[in-house]
Structure 1
């Protein structure tokens, strides 16, 4: 890639709040660009700057310095980046104009002083901390070591890029919010002989399909799944012999409610639900099921915020915020990301189906528009960074 130069003052502004980098640049602050020594010229990777404009997502590809990891972070050369609905939603809510990509799959380039599990050359996937610099829509990205995990040689970068944010959201929902037994716990072993009905509304979504897999590992059955066009994909992960069902939401609200009530009723009622849709009729349908066959101390968790009307009184409502693994739930995130790696190695954990969008970073805007318009059904849009025009030249 061609090299460009920039005044050190501009670089300092870019790295405001990043002392390790700013300190190195401070000495250059009074130096004119033309007087900089040859080795201080910066090589620019392509980075996507996200913002929202009226009518839909808008993306700009801009030049930016390679980020520098702190002592507890990993710098990753991104091979494939995943995408998520939040990539267009957060700029719309907060007016952010930053790199929104958070699903990283690539090769470790550099590690911080405190990092001991990873070294340059390792194949990894990682969950980038949301709304911070160094996102995955770039040639290089930053992740904390506790939200980075090794990927087996048999796992493609495309599959790996579909895992971090959505799979961790599913884990937080099931185990932190609903309080279901973690897969290795004695309670999970005991659950094999005790029905524990769980509604997963939006089971073919990114979060939903990981929730199905994790619930299986915790012996949670029957799984009462709601899906649509991708229901056949959900069928691959359930166990009909244990009472699991997939209900097609396209049959209408009353049909969905009736089918869920029938399945839950056979298991003694329902206490837990994960709403991976969290809008439209999903909330009211879950509420009606709980009214008819809900057990005491019911719990429902949602993946989107906002007012949740239509649930019976006494049902505990929560919002699943995956960002907690970068805050109060760091240990939880550390353990489950390594559990995902083990699952990939052993073959019982599968990444969501992916669709590679042509053009690398140049394909992000149309992909996010499709996400916004609900055109992605049971697939994760991913981007091969090397396909970006101008990268590597």
Structure 2
């Protein structure tokens, strides 16, 4: 099979590889569309870890392990591949564990399905494991303000949607070029607001405080975790607050002791948070089918695996404004 190996740069080499074999609890999936995420270029560059870094799979089941009961050959599925392991999504065939695989609804395209898994699960892990906020089936009964930094990103917009489904409000969102995209999900009657990060750090901090309107701010989801985002949050939140970030931070000398920082790592759904991964993949499928959960818009990068370099370069250069770059594998030359 054809497989894309991502190296620092990003540089991408298309190689011929054996079709991977699923274990007893995995599925082999023919990848119709692969998604992409910033970590796909960061791991090879930051950690010198070249490889097939794709993790967002949308395709058709080819083979299942003997313990797999929910899926069969020919099923349309979307799945989250286990990061850094063999069988990634930048290939004609990929592997996924059954608990992070879900049926793709008939009304959802492969492109839409490929835009969901990693980012949406990252949102869920951050909200429910690290911030310990109410979940959609046990929604908040009291006003629960939440600050979302980078709300237009895929992780950010999925955090917005899950928070709304759980009755969490008001939502204080920080965004830039894609403010209109975020606005479409907010309810100003509940106090939801957007702050434009392009106005500068001081304006962001003051805007968050103003939006709080005297309320205690105890929860923040930092979907950016760069360029001073968590520092700005620490200046605006109340003592005792928790910030969850999606990247490592060097915060010890900057953040007040009264503010806790907890790092969200979506890989936990393949370790200690398997049940969370299982439940939320199926919840996303139900939401896509019924329309209460919307995929981040997609831009198809032409060329299949030959387009992976372009897509990851666009991510590195910050060109993903409220979109997910996806690849139709059959277009590979």
In the superposition, the TM-score normalised over structure 2's length comes to: 0.98
State the partner residue of 1:36.
none
Aligned equivalents of 1:197, 1:305: Cα separation in 2: 24
Greater relative contact order, per chain length (Cα 8 Å cut-off, separation 6+): 2
Deviations 1:124-177 (A, max 9, x none): 000000001000000100000000001111101111101000000000000000
State the partner residue of 1:228.
176
Alignment map for 1:1-393 (pairs within 5 Å): 45-52=1-8, 56-185=9-138, 188=139, 191-192=140-141, 194-266=142-214, 268-290=215-237, 294=238, 296-308=239-251, 310-389=254-333
Does structure 2 conserve the Cα–Cα contact (< 8 Å) formed by 1:168 and 1:333?
yes
Does structure 1 conserve the Cα–Cα contact (< 8 Å) formed by 2:120 and 2:159?
yes
Aligned equivalents of 1:306, 1:239: Cα separation in 2: 32
Q: What SS does the aligned partner of 2:4 have?
A: strand
Deviations 1:197-220 (A, max 9, x none): 100000001100000000001100
In structure 2, runs of 5+ residues without a counterpart are: none
Aligned equivalents of 1:306, 1:316: Cα separation in 2: 12
How far did 1:367 drift?
1.3
Aligned equivalents of 1:345, 1:376: Cα separation in 2: 26
Q: What SS does the aligned partner of 2:240 have?
A: strand
In structure 1, runs of 5+ residues without a counterpart are: 1-44
How far did 1:195 drift?
1.4
In the superposition, the TM-score normalised over structure 1's length comes to: 0.83
Does structure 2 conserve the Cα–Cα contact (< 8 Å) formed by 1:87 and 1:368?
yes
Aligned equivalents of 1:98, 1:84: Cα separation in 2: 14
Q: What SS does the aligned partner of 1:213 have?
A: helix
Deviations 1:81-126 (A, max 9, x none): 0000000111122222211000000011111100000001111000
Aligned equivalents of 2:116, 2:3: Cα separation in 1: 22
Aligned equivalents of 1:317, 1:361: Cα separation in 2: 37
Does structure 2 conserve the Cα–Cα contact (< 8 Å) formed by 1:286 and 1:311?
no
Aligned equivalents of 2:284, 2:163: Cα separation in 1: 13
Aligned equivalents of 1:237, 1:121: Cα separation in 2: 35
Does structure 2 conserve the Cα–Cα contact (< 8 Å) formed by 1:149 and 1:338?
yes
Does structure 1 conserve the Cα–Cα contact (< 8 Å) formed by 2:12 and 2:309?
yes
Count matched residues. 332
How far did 1:315 drift?
1.3
Aligned equivalents of 1:246, 1:336: Cα separation in 2: 27
Aligned equivalents of 1:197, 1:316: Cα separation in 2: 17
